[in-house]
Structure 1
Amino acid sequence: MTENKKVLVAEDSSVIINLTKNVLMFENYNITAVKNGKQVLDKLSSENFDLILMDINMPVMDGIECTKAIRNLEDKKKADIPIVAITGNYKNYTLDDFKKAGLNDYIQKPLDYDHLLATVKKHLTSTE
């Protein structure tokens, strides 16, 4: 049996964190949740993850700034982690904006949990 994939959820809404956890834990993913980009970088310094779900609008450090910091990490494995943006402001960004920031994909809010699961699976099966 393969090891369960580890997903880091960066989201400042407890409601979205809980719903996302419930959907992904049903598929046996190991979920860790943090509330801002600085906490993402703190977690990454001590743990490895297979995927990051990154809210774009968070306090302390937003998702774009955090993604750019991750892409500049010296640890290449961590710098190359697939990162999927979660955003309610997708109209303010194009897919090109997300790609330039280093994001691999995006999911818009309100979250469609079937789409969330399909997007997570797409990026995790490509890393095996």
Structure 2
Amino acid sequence: MKTKDKTILEVEAFKGKEILLVEDVELNREIAETILTEAGFHVNSVEDGKQAVDYMESEKGDMIDLILMDVMMPVMDGYEATQKIRQLEDKTKADIPIIAMTANAFEEDAKAAIEAGMNAHMAKPIRIESLYEIIEQYL
């Protein structure tokens, strides 16, 4: 994302894509929703891993193109939620790209995310350019 033109092109590619945002902290969720909506995504938000699994099991889960998953959440953490999503009978849903978004930025945290079945790991706070670059790899 080195030039303004490149940013515009990448944002155009995101228009109409559906993201499931899984984030328990309201302020973080609002910031991420704003960033993603401005890029052209349609954002569906839930507050914990259990809600994410329930969403993906529902008919609405058929529309999701990518999941941004917090790791540390109440009820069900992002690791367990990812493992449950990966076990869904519907392989389209089970294989959906899942990107960890977490304040835990150490190498072992990234490794734990991958071991849980996530496709990538992104440290918070969110850097818009990094977010777009990671998402672009999976859409």
Letter in 2 for 1:19: I
Q: What is the Cα deviation at residue 97 of structure 1? A: 2.2
**2:137 is the alignment partner of 1:122:** yes
Give the share of equivalent positions with the same residue, in percent: 38
Letter in 2 for 1:88: A
Counterpart of 2:24 in 1: which secondary structure? coil
1:108 corresponds to: 123
CA distance in 1, matches of 2:95, 2:118: 10
1:112 to 1:35, Cα distance in 2 relative to 1, 3 A:
same
1:53 corresponds to: 68
Letter in 1 for 2:115: K
- Which digits, 9 at most, give the CA deviation of each residue in 1:23-80, with x for residues without a partner? 1111211101110001001111221211000000000000000001111111100000
Mind listing any 5+ residue stretches in structure 1 that lack a counterpart?
A: none
TM-align CA RMSD: 1.7
Q: What is the Cα deviation at residue 4 of structure 1? A: 1.3
Question: How many residues matched?
Answer: 123
TM-score by length of 1: 0.88
- 1:21 counterpart (33, 51, 57): 33
List aligned pairs for 1:1-128, cutoff 5 A. 4-46=16-58, 47=60, 48=62, 49-91=64-106, 93-124=108-139
Q: Considering only CA atoms, is the larger Rg found in Structure 1 or Structure 2?
A: 2
CA distance in 2, matches of 1:86, 1:29: 17
CA contact (8 A) 2:101 2:123 kept: yes
Mind listing any 5+ residue stretches in structure 2 that lack a counterpart?
A: 1-12
Q: What is the Cα deviation at residue 121 of structure 1? A: 2.1
CA contact (8 A) 1:23 1:117 kept: no
